[in-house]
Amino acid sequence: MTDTDTIVKEIPGSEYDWMSKNYSDTGKLFIYLALSFGLTFLWFFLTIPKGKTWDSMGIAMQSFVSLGMLFPFISHIIMRWITKEGFAMTGKDSLMLGIDLKQGKWKYYILALLLPLIYTELGNVFTLLFDRSVYDPSYYESLGIDKKTLLLFPLNAVVTGLIGSFAALGEEGGWRGYMMPKLLKIFKAHGRIPALIIGGIIWGLWHAPLTCIGHNFGTEYFGFPYFGIVKMCVCCTLMGILLTFVTAKTHSIWPAAFLHAVNNASPSVLNGYINPDKANTNMWMSGTLLSLFLTVLIVLTIWKREDKMLGKTI
């Protein structure tokens, strides 16, 4: 490298200095989304066996494909390196990796662990009310588990969710750790609802390759896979509201990671009594979706009330 090169490199804004360019929040968000979607879709393309559906690839391969959940956080780290936003663990514009239980924040950690238990079980109750035919009193036996073990499922989901939360942390580190703060900043003038909806749709679309191979809703439904992608966007918007709520209240991505991990572990006793093979084909008659919707309504009401008390606007 010549002396001239060294001098040019040090001039801010020069062609050599693209990494320290002042990106706008929208610019940062678009680069982040390109990175996150690009890396994850590449991972799915490389790892999903050709011609296989989600159910036919086996649990071991499903877990391996699910490691794609780590890419939103990896993209977040790369973004901070590109835009020189720094790697602060806590505080404003940080990675939000700190854990602070003071000033009543511990409540949100407990809430993050218990909320999935409540809405999943409630959702299964709704499912049974919608469609009695799915009730199968001995279904758990076909899963190779006894009644006593089935009763431990919710507790097991909480513990395994806590200790094996790294995959969920991978997603939350990106979506709640980087995307949502940027969206909330961009839509500051319009309140947080548009940001939450757009964030949910983006997150739902990120799942599209998995939805196309039958993850979550299978392949036997009307409008496959397009209606599945739409439903995933709806589910992600609702889930995203809960996850953003606990993140905003604690300024940490950990409770969101715990909530996400416990949610993915399907913590419900009634799962042992609901035979999905007997379910009707109308994917929108979902008890879980209804219970999630009700939970989100309650959370939004609480959020709005707390904001009013603090003098903020929703």
Partner 1 sequence: MAGLLYKDFAEIKGKKLSLILLLLTVAFMVLRVAFPGSDNIADLMIEDNESSPVNLIDDFFILAVGFQMFYLNYIINYSVSRICTADEKNKIRGYLFSCPLKKNTYIASKYIFIGIMTYVCFSLYMIWSVSCGAYILTDSVKSIDFLNVFNAFAAPFFSLSLLIAGIELPMFLLFGRDRAMFIKIGFIMFLAMLVIGYILFGDLSIFEKIDFERIIAWADAHAFELMLVNILLPLITVLLYYGSYRLTVAFYERKEREYD
Please report, as residue ranges, which positions from 149 to 208 form the binding site for partner 1 (by CB under 8 A): 149, 152, 155-156, 159-160, 162-164, 166
SS (H, E, C) 70-98: HHHHHHHHHHHHHHCCCCCCCCCCCCCCC
Radius of gyration of the chain (CA): 21
Count Cβ atoms within 10 A of the Cβ of residue 98 and give its class: 0-12 exposed, 13-18 middle, 19 or more buried.
middle
The distance of Cα 112 from the centroid of its chain, to the nearest Å, equals: 13
Site string for partner 1, 8-47 (x = CB under 8 A): --------------------------------------xx
Q: Residue 165's CB: how many other CB atoms inside 10 A? A: 20
Please report, as residue ranges, which positions from 63 to 82 form the binding site for partner 1 (by CB under 8 A): 63-67
Residues contacting partner 1: total by CB under 8 A: 26
Distances (CA, A) of 164 to 136, 160, 191, 260: 31, 5, 35, 11
- Least Å distance, CB 240 to partner 1, is 24
Among the listed residues 60, 189, 309, 310, the single contact to partner 1 using CB under 8 A: 60
Please report, as residue ranges, which positions from 138 to 157 form the binding site for partner 1 (by CB under 8 A): 145-146, 148-149, 152, 155-156
For partner 1, the closer CB: 83 or 160: 160
For partner 1, the closer CB: 60 or 189: 60
Nearest to 260 by CA among 92, 66, 104: 66
Site string for partner 1, 81-110 (x = CB under 8 A): --------xx-------x------------
Site string for partner 1, 209-248 (x = CB under 8 A): ----------------------------------------
For partner 1, the closer CB: 102 or 132: 102
Among the listed residues 31, 61, 77, 197, the single contact to partner 1 using CB under 8 A: 61
For partner 1, the closer CB: 64 or 187: 64
Interatomic CA distance for residues 246 and 5, integer angstroms: 48
Query: Per CB under 8 A, does 298 bind partner 1?
Result: no
Secondary structure element (H or E) that encloses residue 245, with its range: helix 226-250
For partner 1, the closer CB: 6 or 156: 156
Interatomic CA distance for residues 303 and 111, integer angstroms: 14
For partner 1, the closer CB: 11 or 67: 67
For partner 1, the closer CB: 160 or 275: 160
- Least Å distance, CB 44 to partner 1, is 14
The residue assigned the tokens 């999630």 is 292
Amino acid at 151: L
- Interhelix angle 226-250/254-264, nearest 10 degrees: 140
Nearest to 211 by CA among 174, 175, 236: 236
Interatomic CA distance for residues 55 and 217, integer angstroms: 10
Interatomic CA distance for residues 184 and 28, integer angstroms: 13
- Least Å distance, CB 268 to partner 1, is 16
For partner 1, the closer CB: 166 or 293: 166
Q: Give me the residues that bind partner 1 (CB under 8 A), please.
A: 46-47, 58, 60-61, 63-67, 89-90, 98, 145-146, 148-149, 152, 155-156, 159-160, 162-164, 166
